[in-house]
Amino acid sequence: MTPAARVQAAIGLLDDILAGQPAEQALTGWARKARFAGSKDRAAVRDHVFDALRCRRSFAALGGSETGRGLMIGAARAQGADLEALFDGSGYGPAPVSAEEQGREPAAGADAGDIPDWLWPEFERSLGAHAQEGAAYLRNRAPVFLRANLRKTSRADLIARLQSDGITAIPHDHSPTALEVTQGARQLRNTPTFRDGLFELQDAASQAVTDALPLAMGMTVLDYCAGGGGKTLAMGARADLQLAAHDANPQRMRDLPDRAARAGIAVSILQQIEPNSRYDLILCDAPCSGSGSWRRAPDGKWILTPERLTALTQTQDQILRAASALVAPGGVLAYATCSVLSRENEDRVAAFLSDRPDWRQEASHRWPLAGGGDGFFLAILRRV
């Protein structure tokens, strides 16, 4: 595909996504139909689409319209690309840019920050003076991070073994297990180090959340909202635990048994939790807006609505209530989100503690939108 043809493909995909089709679904469907597109073409088109979604408002302003075409014109202008070469009117390329498609500079605030208008006040309340900086951070691509499985290797040994596979990785200071991949990321899943369970793909701040948990040998631990099980495996790598994983949608955990076996970690997969069960520590990595990880899933910030955010906070409250009943006396309830919004974080903890004198907050941590990793929140609550 020519560069112009790649832009035209991205325009069509963006129009489908703006009409309501999930981004991953649109890209997967296009890749299956576009048999003429090589791996580099598919990667380039994917990059175009995700770059445009991260910067949807500012690119629409620069491109003159919030359409697939407008976003790609805005992207070309923002990146200093040759508009005439990309919009050349060729058989597979988009039509030339007209005089009516001149666009404008994005306005300060939500427009330039690529945040929905309704969400900008909450974004500012949550990030304060760092709101504009945080919004700008979310406009960029996320690095690829690995978690070294210290059950099987050291970080230094993993770096050396990856290097022999043609992959370059460097330590990241968010966590003693974190590595940032700087070259060869697309080869990771085909390496012996992956097949042997020496690492997992996991954001550096997500690893730091697990590092901050007060784990000790022999504890009974439940990952209450396990999802794919990344934090389950990270906890199991830290200490010998009686470890269990549960999710409201068990299908999300379908790959966890194989991953746990590869990592050398014993995990009990719970479809249901016995109501009389008690655990020394329960981690609730609750469903949330994902605002701390919008670099990876940028369509998330555009499909979020006030009603959806309210529903999420209600779900978070329900999870805290249900999980707290399963914590043993003196045990810990750890509440985490990959959100930067106070409404999903500090506000939820305050609401939980407001009528529970038998609970206290021992610590809270924020991993801000800076330093390479995603934005995360963690509160450590103890039953007294």
The yes-or-no verdict on residue 231 having pLDDT over 90 is: yes
For the segment 186-195, the average pLDDT, to the nearest whole number, is: 92
Output the CA torsion sign for 209, 211, 215, 220: positive
254-264: string of b/e by CB count within 10 Å (b at 16+)?
eebeebbebbe
Give 3-state DSSP helix, strand, coil % of the chain, rounded to 5. Answer: 45, 15, 35
The yes-or-no verdict on residue 332 having pLDDT over 90 is: yes
What is the reported pLDDT for 194?
Answer: 94
CA distance 36 to 83: 25
Output the CA torsion sign for 50, 16, 72, 59: negative
What is the reported pLDDT for 371?
Answer: 81
pLDDT bucket at 17, cuts 50 / 70 / 90: very high
* Burial classification of residue 315, based on how many CB atoms lie within 10 Å of its CB (0-12 exposed, 13-18 middle, 19 or more buried): middle
For the segment 156-185, the average pLDDT, to the nearest whole number, is: 96
Beta pairing partners, 245:
223, 269
What is the reported pLDDT for 37?
Answer: 87
pLDDT bucket at 309, cuts 50 / 70 / 90: very high
CA distance 136 to 6: 26
What is the reported pLDDT for 34?
Answer: 85
Residue 258 backbone phi and psi in degrees, to 5 = -65, -40
Neighbouring residues of 212: CB distance < 8 A, sequence distance ≥ 6: 363, 365, 378, 380
- Helix 39-54 / helix 68-78 crossing angle, nearest 10 deg: 90
Tokens of 340: 């930067």
Parse the chain into domains and list their residue ranges: 3-106, 144-201, 205-383
The yes-or-no verdict on residue 126 having pLDDT over 90 is: yes
CA distance 196 to 93: 45
> Per-residue pLDDT tens for 347-363?
999 999 999 999 999 99
The yes-or-no verdict on residue 91 having pLDDT over 90 is: no
Fold of 205-383: Rossmann fold (3.40.50)
CA distance 304 to 302: 6
Superfamily of domain 144-201: Sun protein; domain 3 (3.30.70.1170)
Beta strand 144-148 with 199-201 is: antiparallel
Residue 105 backbone phi and psi in degrees, to 5 = -75, 140
Tokens 């990793």 found at? 373
> Per-residue pLDDT tens for 248-267?
999 999 999 999 999 999 99
What is the reported pLDDT for 128?
Answer: 94
> Per-residue pLDDT tens for 193-204?
999 999 999 999
What is the reported pLDDT for 209?
Answer: 97
The yes-or-no verdict on residue 46 having pLDDT over 90 is: yes
For the segment 297-320, the average pLDDT, to the nearest whole number, is: 96
The yes-or-no verdict on residue 76 having pLDDT over 90 is: yes
- What 3-state DSSP class applies to 377? strand
Residue 270: CB atoms within 10 Å: 18
9-44: string of b/e by CB count within 10 Å (b at 16+)?
bbbbbbebbbeeeebeebbeebeeeeeebeeebbeb
The yes-or-no verdict on residue 343 having pLDDT over 90 is: yes
What is the reported pLDDT for 90?
Answer: 84
Output the CA torsion sign for 55, 56, 62, 68: positive
DSSP string, 269-314: EESS--TT--EEEEEEE-----GGGTTTSTTHHHH--HHHHHHHHH
For the chain, the straight-line distance linking the first and the last C-alpha, in angstroms and rounded, comes to 64
Residue 107 DSSP one-character state: P
CA distance 8 to 95: 9
